[in-house]
């Protein structure tokens, strides 16, 4: 059985905007807020691997017009 948290992050960081949006809109408000904040940290803080930064940037672009509510 696959861990639900692993499935969530695999979708969010998949670099497939449709998968990202589909997963993001399915989440409760609090999780959306937390995920968006984490993606922002991934793109602005040092020490993230360049591929992680790229995946987070693509995810942020995919959800930029989706409200947290």
Distant-in-sequence, close-in-space partners of 49: CB < 8 Å, separation ≥ 6 = none
**Cα 47 from Cα 29, distance rounded (Å):** 28
pLDDT value for 16: 98
Contact 19, 65 (CB under 8 A): no
* pLDDT average, residue stretch 41-54: 97
Q: How many residues does the chain have?
A: 69
Report the mean per-residue pLDDT for the chain: 95
What predicted TM-score, i.e. pTM, was given to this entire model?
A: 0.92
């Amino acid at each position: 059985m696959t861990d639900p948290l692993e499935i969530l992050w695999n979708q969010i960081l998949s670099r497939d905007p449709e998968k990202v949006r589909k997963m993001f809109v399915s989440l409760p408000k609090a999780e959306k807020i937390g995920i968006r904040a984490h993606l922002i940290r991934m793109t602005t803080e040092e020490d993230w691997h360049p591929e992680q930064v790229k995946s987070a940037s693509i995810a942020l672009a995919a959800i930029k017009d989706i409200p947290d509510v």
